[in-house]
Structures are given as C-alpha cells and as structure tokens.
Amino acid sequence: MKKLFGVTTAMTTPFHEDGSVDLAAMAQQCEMLIRKGVQCLYPIGTTGEMLRLSLDERKQIAETVVRTAAGRVTVYIHCGAMTQPDTIALMRHAESIGADGVGVVTPQFFGLNDREMEEYYVSVAGSVAPDFPVYLYNIPQCAANDLKADVAARIAARCPNVVGIKYSFADINRTLDYLRIDGGSFSVMHGCDRVFIAMLALGCDGTVSGISGVFPEPFVNVYKAYLAGDLDAARKWQMKAARITDILRGGSNMAYFKEALRLRGLTGGHMRRPQLDLTAAEAEALRRELEAFCQESGISLEA
C-alpha cells in the first residue's frame, strides 16, 4: 500500500467570484506543484475548505486532481465529512477513481469519547478494500476532538488498511507516541510547517503542508537536503520555510494563500462566503512581504 511521504501538499480550493469551484485553476495548481517537486498531493482537507463544499463538488475536485496528476505523484484524497455516511461515500468514490489512498479527519464539533472514536474509524476504514490505505487525521484545535495515541493504536490493530496519521498540532510528546505505534512501522506525517526538519529528525515520514501549496520550494529543499545528509542546507531552508509560514499567517486564513498564488502568476481564486478575500490594503502589504522574502531567499516570486 502506498503511503504518504516527503512534501505532501494540502491544496487550496479556488473558487470563481460567483462561489463555484474553479476546476481549471485546481488543475493548474496541480501542475505547478508537480513541476516544483512535491512528492504527494492532498486536496480537500482543512486548507481546501472541506466543510464548505458539497459532496458533488468534493468528488469533482478529487477527479480533477487524480486525472491531472496521472500517476506522476502520489494522490491522497481527504474524505472526512460531517456525517459518517458522507465520509464513506467520499472514501468509496476516491477508491473508485484511482486515488492512492485517503485521509479522514476526526468527527468535528460534537464531542466523542474514545470508544466512539475507535468505532468510527473501524467502520469507515472497513467500508473500502482492506488494501486501500487510510490515514487518520488529528487536528484537535479545529475539530474539537483529539485522537489519542492508544486509540490510534487500537484502530490500526483492527484495520489493516489504516497505515498512518496526519497530526497537525505542535505536540512533540504526542508525536513520539504516534511514532511508537506498531513497533515504529506506523506512518506519521506532521502538519507543523515551522518545524519540518525537527519532525523528520524524530522519525516522521514527512509533512502535510498547506504552506507548500503556495511556496513549495523551501519545503522541497528541506526534504532533499535532509535525505542527502546535508543538515546545514536543511537548516538554512527550514528557516526560509518558517519565514514564509509566518508571512502566510500559518494557514489560519486561506485568503492569504489565494492572494499569494495570484501574486505568483497563478489563479488563486476567491474565498467562499462567509469568509472574504483580502482587502486591497491587506493584499498590498502581502505583496511587499512576499517580494522581500523572495529577494532574501533567492526564490522567484513568479511560480
């Protein structure tokens, strides 16, 4: 079963001004990311505004990414939804269109106890083939539910296709607990862009990074340098990755991502209401920050 690794990019979802999904811009984004050297694509997650999309829209995006990638990179589709039947429907669709695997965020808003969390994942993982890989996805600061390491271990023991987890909270001790699952063979992908190199050093297989969807260059270079054993170069690029993460507000507002993509010459698209695009003043301030970053980093603003 294919696992996630390296720079796995959590993609944005570009919208037309009328609020419809811009699938052509989605394909353009795929081509840029593949050209820049990311290892995997991960659409329709938190960065992709998943909960503001209908099931049909999510399926169209998944089909666009799988078709555009055409086997050149690994593609995982995020399928976590507000209801269990919707999650299962999205997982089965991803499997049917030839995705390499899926990610599933914990249920959101309503609190779950550990037994409910375990049974949820056992049910959804069992809805697809036992050799179709599934990543758990824990982002407690957004989902309001936390997936403990012992619960994740029980899920993995019961589900042969649950091969790893994406963890998007900066807790090193919890990360270590995940890394111990199944004797260390459980794949751990971390979502903290500011400390990518540290997570690699701990033993994580890579990052699932929203910032890399806008500026993949520093993240790709961190990973290449780390694999080559050039820690000085990896540290240098990590500082640049941390700087662009700060400029893009750590992924807390996708409007910054979309405006930055526009400034790089791509179709970043619009936000879907109730969130709004940046104001003209905010966009101008971002332009100045990005121009300074690119000059300092030796990265072209034009993608």
pTM for the whole thing? Answer: 0.97
| Two structure tokens written together for 11 | 């993609």
Length, in residues, of the chain: 303
pLDDT single digits (tens) 187-210: 999 999 999 999 999 999 999 999
pLDDT single digits (tens) 14-23: 999 999 999 9
| Rounded-to-integer distance, Cα 4 and Cα 191, Å | 13
Q: Which residues contact 104 (CB under 8 A, 6 or more apart)?
A: 78, 79, 80, 87, 91, 121, 124, 125, 134, 135, 136, 137
Q: Which residues contact 291 (CB under 8 A, 6 or more apart)?
A: 301
pLDDT single digits (tens) 212-261: 999 999 999 999 999 999 999 999 999 999 999 999 999 999 999 999 99
Rg (CA), the chain: 18
| Rounded-to-integer distance, Cα 106 and Cα 122, Å | 12
| Two structure tokens written together for 76 | 């995982």
Q: What is the mean pLDDT of residues 87-97?
A: 98
Provide the percentage of residues in the chain whose pLDDT is more than 70. 100
Spatial contact of 132 and 169, defined as CB atoms under 8 Å apart? no
pLDDT single digits (tens) 24-76: 999 999 999 999 999 999 999 999 999 999 999 999 999 999 999 999 999 99
| Two structure tokens written together for 200 | 């690699």
Active site (catalytic) residues: 137, 166
pLDDT single digits (tens) 263-286: 999 999 999 999 999 999 999 999
| Two structure tokens written together for 152 | 């994740």
Instruction: Quote the crossing angle between the two packed helices 280-297 and 254-263, to the nearest 10°.
Output: 60
What mean pLDDT is reported for the chain?
A: 97
